[in-house]
Amino acid sequence: MTLDQETRSQLLETLDRFVKERLIPAERAMAETGEMDQSILSEMRELGLYGISIPEEYGGLGLCLADEVEIAMCIGQAAPAFRSAFGTNVGIGSQAILIDGTDEQRRKYLPRLANGELVGSFCLTESSSGSDAGSLKATAKKDGDHYILNGTKRYITNAPTAGLFTVMARTDKTTTDGRGVSAFLVEADTPGVSVGKPEKKMGQQGAPVADVIFENCQIPAENLIGGKENVGFKTAMKVLDKGRIHISAVCTGLAGRILRDAVTYAKEREQFGEPIANFQLIQAMIADSETEIYAAKCMIRDVAKAKDRGENTKRRASCTKLFASEAVGRIADRAVQILGGAGYISEYGIEQLYRDARLFRIYEGTSQIQQLIIAKDVISSY
């Protein structure tokens, strides 16, 4: 569904107020304790944020990607951990079911993902397979009308709060690449599933990340996504194609926030008898940052519309993720520079956002993986 102009503006205004009145003031406490305020999570549920991408027939808002990215840019203005709380339900924790799941799988899980009762999480990465995702070692062995799952997944976002895992595991032991991988839905309370201790991280405190361990975990055969073996790697790639566009929007929302904070500071801070915003070397950093934000927004809106039209956006999703995540890194770096000594001191908040932004160049595919995807696709097209 595409929102009409008025509904879209009203929704974005409401969310912008929520960001400024509720999320930004709660950032510091979350960064210090690593805990998200439960009342904020309830408000996010009430706002329908967990279900923005899930079709209305399953209880979500059923928004098109063009609307979803506007919401991601808006919420992205606050510390990224807030977006992460519901982001897996919107993206990597629900999309495999939506893209390749059976009707029964959709009916069973999507309504509870849409209202936030269930948190979805995506288990692809392992200790020995990060960028080379297809080489994963977790196994799923068919045993009558069940599969027996074994393996350990690493750095799994929202693992400690998840009720449902999308798990990629090898069903064809004769393979070592993506061709023998299948995708499964595993409920967190299934015997044999355990979650490790949340990792201590550089930033994004409040967005929990942990190992997920599967030990002789018996899952019903009907939880094989789409009922088809050995197509799970492709499912994961399709999920990431969309996820990378969404993440680009989060990067760009944060970039705008960081620039705003840096400009506010530059207008107040005086040196050599005047605000530092008057100095052209500061202005150059502001101008470069604004230009990159504008370019990223153009890419995001363009690729989101293309995906809504049903086009293959693999290359463009990677171009956008590469550009937007690298841009927010540069913008955060310039903001620290504009704030000078204050940029390095936690009281001013920029150093926290600088650390938060660092993850974007790594997760949902590193910048180098985006470059490989883009180059391979371009080379094969000429």
| Identified binder of ligand COS from the candidate list 125, 161, 171, 248, rule CB under 6 A | 125
If one asks whether residue 22 binds ligand COS (CB under 6 A), the answer comes out as: no
∠ CA 7-11-13 to the nearest 5 degrees?
115
Please report how close the Cβ of residue 215 comes to ligand COS at its closest, in angstroms: 22
Q: Select from 45-53, 177-185, 217-225, 294-302 the region that touches ligand COS (CB under 6 A).
A: 177-185
If one asks whether residue 137 binds ligand COS (CB under 6 A), the answer comes out as: no
**Binding-residue pattern over the window 296 to 335 for ligand COS, x denoting contact by CB under 6 A:** ------------------x---------------------
Q: Which stretches of the chain are DSSP H helices?
A: 5-18, 24-33, 38-46, 65-75, 80-90, 95-100, 103-114, 232-268, 280-308, 314-339, 350-358, 367-381
Q: Select from 125-133, 165-173, 259-267, 319-327 the region that touches ligand COS (CB under 6 A).
A: 125-133
| Identified binder of ligand COS from the candidate list 22, 238, 305, 330, rule CB under 6 A | 238
Please report how close the Cβ of residue 114 comes to ligand COS at its closest, in angstroms: 21
Please report how close the Cβ of residue 278 comes to ligand COS at its closest, in angstroms: 43
Q: Is 364 known to be catalytic?
A: yes
In this structure, how many other beta carbons lie within 10 angstroms of the beta carbon of residue 111? 17
Q: Token pair of 170, please? A: 């090898």
First to last CA, the chain: 36
Q: CA-CA distances (angstroms) from residue 135 to 103, 130, 162, 172, 200?
A: 29, 9, 25, 12, 26
- Cβ-contact 141, 98 below 8 angstroms: no
Q: Token pair of 336, please? A: 């620290």
Please report how close the Cβ of residue 369 comes to ligand COS at its closest, in angstroms: 5
| Identified binder of ligand COS from the candidate list 80, 209, 364, 374, rule CB under 6 A | 364
Beta bridge partners of 120: 164
Site residues (CB under 6 A) for ligand COS?
A: 92, 122, 124-125, 131-134, 177-179, 233-234, 237-238, 240-241, 314, 363-365, 369, 373
